[in-house]
Structure 1
């Protein structure tokens, strides 16, 4: 009986041994033929095994690398800085932590990109007894992704340039056509030409608005952030919004008590709210309900990392509608410039892109929630203003729009036609005006004994920038005021899209009314 049990035990052991050998053979086959690079290390980071794919990449046999510290193996020695990185990973995994990295390696066949992971091997009691490194060659995948991104970028550029060309050509056609008609009528001695002047000015105003919207999308517009009471702003805009939305849209406001002040440019925030409400109205062709809501909000670290926004306290302004809603595909493209689902002539496709650019430039966040047939909510998060509760709101400009007849203005502009237009406009407004085509010429006037009440200078100029010129002239004429102008905003007086404190900027293009108001404001400040 004992012998029979012994034979059975031996037979059972033989069966288990054969099973283990078969399992080991299968695992070895997988290990050797798996697509990814794989190996096995001791607890102190020495290589004791590597599969065929890994060895083929460096042209070595297992005997060549077995027993070497992993950081000293040929996989890493050809890439500067990798030895130290691998040493750090070994220490991290030995302490029981996982490693996940992506990096480039210089291998005999060229530079390759790897998605790499290294994990601890533990005994039954949880002690780390080894580690398993594995890597997947993602070079081709990353290359394909880069090509796709480039293709998408070119598609977006094509959409952007096509939209700009279409809209600008329409506006230029109005301007050129109106001026041609004006020229012909004046040549005939006709004086009833105001409609042509009005049409040309309207086309120019629309072109200027388009450039401002593009700058907003590109986050290049100059912002002047101040503490803003969003509740008060929404309340003050109620009449305007009601007229804009029409009778078929019922508007509601839900304003939070104890609302923090937002840190934002008030005029741009007003434009953003108006754009969102107009979009909501257009999504409800048969009427519906539109809700403007404010609230205090907190963005935590997890959401911030996922959406590339700084965690912290924000002021929320949300606009919701009961309209047609958007599909996920439309939501994904909603902020693209010139993308629109509206019919021809019913939208520029710049409204939401302008909102997006303004909010992101303000270090805020914007999010769309939408379902087809159920409506849309668009949430704007603006940073909370951290300062005294009594911080003053933006002051209204004071004084009259015209000059006194004794105030002197120096216009510095390298573009001759632009300079001539500014000079004539300022003279028309009652100022004594001198001009210079650049910084050196302007300095010579001051060095010759001339004094000026105001320096009106372009920023981007040869020789001296407008900022450099202003610094030197104010040192010579301490009481002189400075007003900058530019058609572009990434320059010396705008830092990260925000105007320096005390800086006055009149963006091009500008009309005579804007010029009159800004010059008067600066002189009276």
Structure 2
């Protein structure tokens, strides 16, 4: 309804102006008569808050103020009324008819009488709800922007173009930058920095890109290297409106890793043919290594199949010849010549089996800490005798040479084999024939071992044997380690010398390599693993001048399942001065051990039916801890030898053996203090 109340003591013109003011505003106008608390509202009360146009009381108004704001507003407005002030403002929440609250900005003026007493208060309520909602939405957006600005992984900045010495819009300054700017670009504290100061050598290129965005308004996406920090960046830039602000926003991320991967992929694709060739070469190398392994396995199986029986037969032959020599034929030179010829043939046959076992890496090794310089020096007389007077022997020994862990007898045999091969290669060479043996400390690195499957990187002791012979072409070098391969004429070689060297070195965890050219001689290098950690230097004793004998009181128990071999072993030990008992297997041997406490040595074959020699030895030592045990075998695998190395504390003599070898070994075992 129209507002008709006319303030007391006012003229009609004042009332008209008051009414026109109410009609001209969207605010809810109120007129509060303080004497009785009566309040008159303008029609906007209904339009803004849904309440019917009422003549209410001040209490009604207070009751519609939010409870949390009510006391404060009441106190503030009465402080003005009860004081001397004339104007009041306040913000609060006002209850609408639908139950929601409007955000209100209220202001009123106090009318006082001549004595200064407040009689009326007139004001207007402005609904701030929409503005408050907009402000809240703006704050939320700003918070979201700030959170995004602070937390995104991508770098972000706003740049503003400047005029400078290089012309209009020839430089720009960083107005803002998020924390990820540093992580992606690698440049700290960029806000306030000009690009020509930051990266002077590449600034022109960056200015040109972003200036085009500013001038044309066209956004751009691109990739570019930030040379100053070595980062490769993926960037997006767009103009911030209006253009008069001269600002461009840039979003970017570090894609250096991806870029390098792409370059690597391109290079990889560009070299695909070379890669395929390398892969094929590696495959052929692996296949060749597999064939070599299979070849060794086949030779090993063949050797293992015949070694035991063959060596047993040779043991009978050699023992018989030794006993024949010792007992009956010393006074008959012609008969002795035949015996020696037979004995040499048997030894060569035994050596052939030994070489086959060495190549197939099935010979039992007895490694020990070894000074290779000392070993080579000790071989000098043997080497000179083997080479003959026409060949000059030279040795070049490295100072401070590392120790290695190897079987000294097998290493001597390998060096001698190489020396004899070198001698044969120099037979037809005119002029200075020279064989050089050199030692050195070497390190085989990852790159080298990558080309030699099965080889471990690390430190090695190198022994090189070099001759000045005819040399070998590449196709011969490639086959030099193959068993039975030889370039010598018939009767001068078995083709097993180098294969024996190869098998021994590989079984010892080492490496062997041939370097040769036709007319330039040959070098064979053996790489034996360096011995790390503590070790004992044990000088080898001099060879016995005579065969050690028993005193007739020491009793030896011989265990052998083959009767002929057992008989020869018994007679050989009796000839050496020992008392002997014999058994054809483990069961009989254990009974004899229980009934003869004076048995000093158990001499047993390893390969026997039923309980093998190793298990017999273990059971015998369990019953008689102080009993000495000596094993013998023509071929053993996984009984007293594991990973090619004789088990610790195990004594072994291989078949066939001579009377001298048997006497020396038996005496060593009986005299040992272990």
The match for 1:283 among 388, 406, 425 is: 425
Match of 1:510, SS state, is: coil
Match of 1:464 among 607, 611, 614: 611
Deviation, structure 1 residue 438: 0.6
Distance in 1 of aligned mates of 2:469 and 2:433: 7
Query: How far apart are 1:246 and its partner, in Å?
Result: 2.2
Q: CA offsets per residue over residues 202-252 of structure 1, 9 Å max, x none?
A: 111111111111111111111111111111222222222222222332222
CA 1:292–1:150: 2 relative to 1, 3 Å: closer
Query: Quick one: distance in 1 between partners of 2:611 and 2:416?
Result: 40
Corresponding residue for 2:520?
374
User: CA separation of 1:374/1:400 partners in 2, compared to 1, >3 Å: closer, same or farther?
Assistant: closer
1:409 aligns with 2:556: yes
Partner of 1:272: 414
Task: Give per-residue Cα distances to partners, 1:407-445, cap 9 Å, x unaligned.
Answer: 000011111111111111111111111111111111122
The residue matched to 2:418 in structure 1 has which SS?
Answer: helix
Structure 2: how far apart are the matches of 1:374 and 1:263? 33
Q: What is the match of residue 343 of structure 1?
A: 489
Q: Which one has a bigger Cα radius of gyration?
A: 2
- Between Structure 1 and Structure 2, how many residues are aligned? 380
Tell me how large the CA RMSD over aligned residues is. Answer: 4.0
Q: Is residue 483 from structure 1 mapped to residue 625 from structure 2 by the alignment?
A: no
Residues 304-315 of structure 1 aligned to structure 2 (within 5 Å): 304-307=449-452, 308-315=454-461
Does 1:234 pair with 2:376? yes
**Whole-Å Cα distance in 1 between the matches of residues 292 and 631 of structure 2?**
39
* Number of the residue aligned with 2:367: 225
Instruction: Tell which deviates more after alignment, 373-382 or 246-255.
Output: 246-255
Asked whether 1:513 is paired with 2:655, we answer no
The answer to whether 1:418 aligns with 2:565 is yes
Identify the residue that residue 293 of structure 1 maps to in structure 2. Answer: 438
Check whether the contact 2:297–2:360 (CA below 8 A) recurs between aligned residues: no
Alpha-carbon distance between aligned partners in 1 of 2:336 and 2:555, rounded to the nearest angstrom: 32
| C-alpha distance 428-420 of structure 1, shift in aligned 2 (>3 A) | same
Distance 1:148 1:274, change over 3 A: closer
Gaps of 5+ in 1: 1-121
Q: Distance in 1 between matches of 2:380 and 2:393?
A: 9
C-alpha distance in 1 between matches for 2:260 and 2:298: 59
Offset at residue 450 of structure 1 (A): 4.4
TM-score (norm 2): 0.51
Give the conservation status (yes or no) of the 8 Å contact 1:290–1:322.
Answer: yes
How far apart, CA to CA, are the structure 2 residues paired with 1:123 and 1:476? Answer: 72
Aligned to 2:588: 441
Give 2:92's aligned residue.
none
Match of 1:500 in 2: 647
Pick one of 552, 568, 574 that aligns with 1:427: 574
Q: Using a 3 Å threshold, how does the CA distance of structure 1 residues 250 and 194 change in structure 2: closer, same or farther? A: closer
CA distance in 1, matches of 2:484, 2:603: 35
Which residue is 2:86 aligned to?
none
Structure 1 residue 161 displacement after superposition: 8.2
Report 1:123-202 matches (<5 A): 193-202=335-344
User: Which runs of structure 2 are paired with 1:12-23 in the superposition (5 Å)?
Assistant: none
What residue number does 1:262 align with?
404
What is the alpha-carbon distance in structure 1 between the residues aligned to residue 470 and residue 333 of structure 2?
Answer: 50
Answer whether contact 1:299 1:311 (CA < 8 A) is retained: yes
Evaluate the alpha carbon distance shift between residue 154 and residue 305 of structure 1 in structure 2; reply closer, same or farther with a 3 A threshold. Answer: closer
Distance 1:475 1:153 in 2: 40
Q: Indicate if the aligned counterparts of 1:459 and 1:491 stay in contact, CA closer than 8 A.
A: no
Q: TM-score, normalised by structure 1?
A: 0.65
Q: Write the distance in 2 (CA, Å) between the matches of 1:443 and 1:497.
A: 29
- The answer as to 2:535 corresponding to 1:383 is no
Q: Does the C-alpha gap of structure 1 residues 247 and 465 become closer, same or farther in structure 2, counting only changes over 3 Å?
A: same
2:448 equivalent in structure 1: 303
Give the Å deviation of 1:361: 0.8
**Match for residue 113 of structure 1?**
none
